[in-house]
Structure 1
């Protein structure tokens, strides 16, 4: 039977449930970037031995083929799972895939109550996990820290509702709103602290995407360069309609290590495509071109079909403008530096500046990052 709704809880109950759900969210965050196409779910089990509930089990979903968060938390709790309360960020799954249904595992373990943050929009799960739990005699409470839980599994929600990955666009602009200076090459805008934060963000993404222009200009590695974090580097992806990426580029030279994907047009020269494949590059053919460029919506469809749930785009002005123009950006993060570039600066979105976002996006200052400011823009009409 379902417990009373979240709003009907008294203040003490709310605080307790929110505290443990926050812990479950933190465990789920550890799995971000490693579980695609599965959602990065976090779960904990608590039990009261007389002095208030304590955590007895915890888990975060493993990469595909591995156990889900709920099963790991049950195993971690051992005999204490009997009569425990489970906090799960997403409705426990109800279907058989590479692993069995987590809802049935919770029932079999004797868990007395399941508190989950948000329902799963996946038709294979939606409401079915809840039904299995209730039919198994488990009390169910839904909606604790729901907004935070949806944020934690936003890539999964985008896959189900939009049939494409969640798209986070990241850019750095000067204090006066420019991304570079004409004729000056690469200009350092962000502070060292901001660059470190970007690498930490990369570690939580499934993939990092750039256009061929960025590769030709900067020869990036698209890796996580923080101590001990290289293994958390996301899947690198390049949009390159004519397969122009140099074989000498860092990305191609490391293709067998970083599993580089290059999205090309169907008329890309065969000799270039063959050369990339010999270097270990995975070539994804996009049969749609607009003005000689890869169709961005179709490219995102291809990434969805390859299992990606959330991507960070670090492309230049042209790629950023294209994504925004087609309403394909779910979150825009802008690191605003403290330096000025002046009148010969390059606008972040082609001929359009930051003011072009005013009508369609909500703007929020997240926090200072050293001398920089981190701004977040989200579409006004989006889940």
Structure 2
């Protein structure tokens, strides 16, 4: 790595402190470098908070050195008024002469405007440093704004003999270790929403919340075309907001939001509605038919598959993700494979 890449890597690393807290904003980290030393750093901590550039600049004790410093940031600084004032104004205020940027911001209110504003004020710009890594970091945010839909993650476990669940399941069923379950809860805390079909609710009665780790509960999404599910199931409790996609009614009752859609093109209808509701990422946890619908429409970005060493012998065949996994991780009783699709980086 060259010097610019090393400092950009630092921006990426500190930005991850905002994971699960900043959506619908992106994760952003910023460092201020003077004479090849980091003299200030900051990251976007939560939605509505000061932006990373402001935190980094404020952390520099001697503001006089900013006139001879370089600001590194993994995403193009904003130049518009939102919940916070423009970052470009703060950079100009302290006469920072050079800004190094990881990737452009695809948001319609930024989208090159931040860079142009800095250039108009004779600030030197270097961009696309660690471009792929910076886009990957904010793949949820970028997919949302470029593809006009949420980032989609499929998650399921399959047995050693290729099944996702027993054939005649009449009670909740798990085949993964505690470490795997804890990992899934952490994943839930990092995404805006979690989606399941009606059969999963009826067979497993899942809470779909974050209980085994710290973090916020995702919005729960249920596909129930004819509103057949019993309201006593845990997905209807007040622990989190629940969206129920159906073809009967649109209504809000407490924390439950019913949204009527056209089921002729179910998956795209759902993604369009989620985009309208500013939901940037969805973790799809089942069941088999629901996951397969998204696979068959090629509407997925990542798949996380736990391969258990347990056998079911007679069950419901697991979905299949074809291709070579990008990552493989060993767990106590299973192997986790991670696949990518429609890569934006």
Give the structure-2-normalised TM-score. Answer: 0.89
Cα distance change on mapping 1:121 and 1:251 into 2, 3 Å: same
The corresponding residue for 2:16 is: 29
Q: 2:52 matched to 1:69?
A: yes
Deviation of 1:284 after TM superposition, in Å, equals: 4.1
Q: 2:205 matched to 1:235?
A: no
Contact 1:166-1:330 at 8 Å conserved across structures: yes
Structure 2 distance, partners of 1:79, 1:62, is 26
Q: Which secondary structure state, in structure 2, belongs to the residue aligned with residue 203 of structure 1? A: helix
The corresponding residue for 2:198 is: 212
- After superposition, the C-alpha distances for 1:126-155 in whole angstroms (9 at most, x for unaligned) are 222112222223222222222221111111
Question: Which residue of 48, 53, 56 maps to 2:37?
Answer: 53
What are the equivalent positions in structure 2 for 1:258-297 lying under 5 Å apart?
A: 258-265=240-247, 267-268=248-249, 277-278=252-253, 280-290=254-264, 295-297=266-268
Question: Which residue of 310, 313, 335 maps to 2:306?
Answer: 335
Deviation of 1:34 after TM superposition, in Å, equals: 2.7
Cα distance change on mapping 1:346 and 1:214 into 2, 3 Å: same
Structure 2 distance, partners of 1:145, 1:300, is 30
Question: Which residue of 35, 38, 42 maps to 2:25?
Answer: 38
Give the structure-1-normalised TM-score. Answer: 0.81
The corresponding residue for 2:228 is: 244
Cα distance change on mapping 1:242 and 1:57 into 2, 3 Å: same
Contact 1:117-1:146 at 8 Å conserved across structures: yes
The corresponding residue for 1:373 is: 335
Structure 2 distance, partners of 1:246, 1:189, is 26
Structure 2 distance, partners of 1:312, 1:338, is 24
- After superposition, the C-alpha distances for 1:270-322 in whole angstroms (9 at most, x for unaligned) are xxx76xx44x13424233113xxx81111111111111111111121011011
The corresponding residue for 2:114 is: 129
Name stretches of at least 5 consecutive residues in structure 2 with no aligned partner.
Answer: none
Deviation of 1:367 after TM superposition, in Å, equals: 1.9
Cα distance change on mapping 1:373 and 1:155 into 2, 3 Å: same
Cα distance change on mapping 1:245 and 1:114 into 2, 3 Å: farther
Contact 1:240-1:262 at 8 Å conserved across structures: yes
The corresponding residue for 2:5 is: 18
Cα distance change on mapping 1:258 and 1:88 into 2, 3 Å: same
Aligned residues: 342
Q: 2:283 matched to 1:315?
A: no
Name stretches of at least 5 consecutive residues in structure 1 with no aligned partner.
Answer: 1-10
Q: Which secondary structure state, in structure 1, belongs to the residue aligned with residue 306 of structure 2? A: strand
The corresponding residue for 2:208 is: 222
Contact 1:95-1:101 at 8 Å conserved across structures: yes
Structure 1 distance, partners of 2:300, 2:146, is 15
Structure 1 distance, partners of 2:340, 2:37, is 37
Cα distance change on mapping 1:101 and 1:338 into 2, 3 Å: same
Structure 1 distance, partners of 2:245, 2:154, is 18
Contact 1:90-1:149 at 8 Å conserved across structures: yes
